[in-house]
Chain A
Amino acid sequence: MSEIVKRALEGDELVTSKILTKIEYMTPDGLEYLDELSARAGKAHTIGITGIPGAGKSSLISGLISQYSKRGLKVGVIMIDPSSPISSGSFMGNRIRMQDKTMLKNVFIRSIASRGHLGGVSSEAIMLIEAMDGLGYDKILVETVGAGQTDTEIMSSVHTIIVTSVPGTGDEIQALKAGIMEIGDIYIVNKADLPDANVVYDAIKFSIDSAEWKDWIPKVIKVSALKGLGIEELVNEIETHLEYLRNTGKFEDKVKERRREMIELIIRKWANDKISKVIKENSSLIYEKNELRKTLDALFSKFKNNIC
């Protein structure tokens, strides 16, 4: 084992953090560390929390951190925020909701920006999940904004998906439209301290009850992350789902699925970088003449040289 990974496993947070950065940026030594950690991974229970902006995902995570930490578990948190397509910068504000948990031992919280690259953030997030798993975190919580391809890719890589809805946003309709009603293992109606929580609850419940399920029937829970209500019930439900995954062999299946996804995304990213490079290097060819067929033929042969 490399000295660096050894120090991370012994609990050196700064070293852990440096490893995560190298993996995030896919540097050559980052991939070495990921290789080492991946060999140790496969035990963590990974939990995705998704839902519309402002639904209370970060507040929920804060509540879950408390509960898991109380039970003596090691908790890793990965939160993804969008990058600006214009500046590529990102404002990542999720930590605000859980800063009072930062000083807890055995809790490691990391924010990453979606960076807006094709296959970009998903591969980064999944690599970080894999790394944290290898580092011995028991529960890994992943927050994504519930929209688009990125979300789906990441969510298909976690064991338990929690979809967060809130009253007063027409969320029940949105949820149905976005297909988000198909992915959850547990549905949360957060902000249950506000009026109309029951309306959302009933709508989600109805939608679940009127569909057919193979084995796991999604649960709906009313929660107030702000007031700390329903969090214990949520924790119990997450454990029930974990048990179900273990009993059916789906726990291991998910880990395998995550690795397939990770490998696919790494390769895609690599290929994508090659494509960008070839396009850039041959921009004169592209700009100077309007000869589509010739240009494509020339570029294809360059790709083949580049990739093979």
Chain B
Amino acid sequence: MEKRIKVVVSKLGLDGHDRGAKVIARALKDAGMEVVYTGLRQTPEQIVKTAIQEDADIIGVSILSGAHLELVPPLVKLMKDKGLNDVGLIVGGVIPPQDIDKLKEMGVDDIFLPGSSLKEIVDKIKRIAYNKRGIKIE
């Protein structure tokens, strides 16, 4: 059977809103991906551990607290330390334009702001999964 894209979707940090994350998780499911949803208030350690055990192709985190510049670096570092170099990382949330490049420099593969179309998100994730792990789905 052909490989399906497996995505771990998590809320990183302490804010308690997961509507956006759920909407995205659902869109990915509708696009044929297998989405492991971990829910609220996850630490980088929990997210990385989950991605390891699930053999996720992509980690998607949603951050609405504004603390992305503090929360993302430990996540990226932990991914590297644990050998998840071929796992894509995407961040969704309210990210000011001036922080987007900073996050990308840190190693985030893509960033989705409120209002990004679901189709765009799906297509970009497919591309990342292909680039990082060679997974091809129509």
Interface residues, chain A, with chain B CB atoms under 8 Å away: 13-14, 17-18, 20-21, 25-26, 83-84, 87-93, 95-96, 99, 102-103, 108-111, 113, 115, 117, 120
Q: How far is the CA of A212 from the CA of B42 in the complex (A)?
A: 49
Q: Given the known inter-chain contacts A13-B52, A103-B45, please indicate yes or no for A96 contacting B37, CB distance below 8 A.
A: yes
When distances are taken between beta carbons in the complex, the residues of chain B under 8 Å from A108 are 53
Per the 8 Å Cβ criterion, residues 16-40 of B in contact with A are: 25-26, 28-39
A122 to chain B, nearest CB (A): 14
Which 9 A-B pairs rank lowest in CB-CB distance, beginning with the nearest? Answer: A89-B29, A96-B39, A17-B55, A21-B55, A89-B32, A91-B29, A113-B34, A90-B34, A93-B37
Q: Which of A17, A26, A89, A102 contacts B30 (CB 8 A)?
A: A89
Q: Which of A18, A83, A88, A96 contacts B38 (CB 8 A)?
A: A96
Q: Which of A88, A103, A111, A117 contacts B46 (CB 8 A)?
A: A103
Q: Given the known inter-chain contacts A26-B1, A91-B26, please indicate yes or no for A103 contacting B49, CB distance below 8 A.
A: yes
Q: How far is the CA of A153 from the CA of B23 in the complex (A)?
A: 33
Any A CB within 8 A of the CB of B4: yes
Q: Are B37 and A25 in contact (CB under 8 A)?
A: no
Q: How far is the CA of A111 from the CA of B25 in the complex (A)?
A: 15
B61 to chain A, nearest CB (A): 14
Any A CB within 8 A of the CB of B101: no
When distances are taken between beta carbons in the complex, the residues of chain A under 8 Å from B115 are none
Q: Which of B29, B42, B45, B52 contacts A90 (CB 8 A)?
A: B29
26 A-B pairs with CB atoms under 8 Å apart are A14-B52, A14-B82, A14-B84, A18-B55, A21-B55, A84-B29, A84-B30, A87-B29, A87-B30, A87-B31, A88-B32, A89-B28, A89-B33, A90-B29, A91-B25, A91-B37, A92-B34, A95-B39, A96-B38, A99-B46, A102-B46, A102-B50, A102-B53, A103-B49, A109-B53, A111-B54
One digit per residue, 1 when the CB lies within 8 angstroms of any chain A CB and 0 when it does not, for chain B 48-66 equals: 0110111100000000000
Q: Are A92 and B52 in contact (CB under 8 A)?
A: no
Q: How far is the CA of A84 from the CA of B52 in the complex (A)?
A: 24
Q: How far is the CA of A13 from the CA of B84 in the complex (A)?
A: 12
Q: How far is the CA of A110 from the CA of B30 in the complex (A)?
A: 21
Any A CB within 8 A of the CB of B97: no
Q: Given the known inter-chain contacts A13-B53, A14-B52, please indicate yes or no for A99 contacting B35, CB distance below 8 A.
A: no
When distances are taken between beta carbons in the complex, the residues of chain B under 8 Å from A87 are 29-32
Q: How far is the CA of A108 from the CA of B55 in the complex (A)?
A: 12
Q: Are A25 and B49 in contact (CB under 8 A)?
A: no
When distances are taken between beta carbons in the complex, the residues of chain B under 8 Å from A26 are 1
When distances are taken between beta carbons in the complex, the residues of chain B under 8 Å from A18 are 55
Q: Are A17 and B52 in contact (CB under 8 A)?
A: yes
Q: Given the known inter-chain contacts A18-B55, A87-B31, A110-B54, please indicate yes or no for A95 contacting B1, CB distance below 8 A.
A: no
A168 to chain B, nearest CB (A): 24
Q: How far is the CA of A14 from the CA of B85 in the complex (A)?
A: 12
Q: Which of A13, A17, A20, A89 contacts B34 (CB 8 A)?
A: A89
Q: How far is the CA of A18 from the CA of B25 in the complex (A)?
A: 23
Q: How far is the CA of A83 from the CA of B37 in the complex (A)?
A: 14
Q: Are B1 and A25 in contact (CB under 8 A)?
A: yes
Identity of the chain A residue whose Cβ is nearest the Cβ of B49 in the assembled complex: A102
Any A CB within 8 A of the CB of B114: no
Q: How far is the CA of A120 from the CA of B4 in the complex (A)?
A: 14
When distances are taken between beta carbons in the complex, the residues of chain B under 8 Å from A95 are 36-39, 50
Identity of the chain A residue whose Cβ is nearest the Cβ of B57 in the assembled complex: A21
Q: How far is the CA of A120 from the CA of B125 in the complex (A)?
A: 26
Q: How far is the CA of A101 from the CA of B39 in the complex (A)?
A: 13
Q: Are B37 and A88 in contact (CB under 8 A)?
A: no
Q: Are A99 and B4 in contact (CB under 8 A)?
A: no
Q: Are A25 and B32 in contact (CB under 8 A)?
A: no
A8 to chain B, nearest CB (A): 12
Q: Are B35 and A90 in contact (CB under 8 A)?
A: yes
Q: How far is the CA of A95 from the CA of B39 in the complex (A)?
A: 8
When distances are taken between beta carbons in the complex, the residues of chain B under 8 Å from A92 are 34-37
Q: How far is the CA of A91 from the CA of B4 in the complex (A)?
A: 13
Any A CB within 8 A of the CB of B96: no
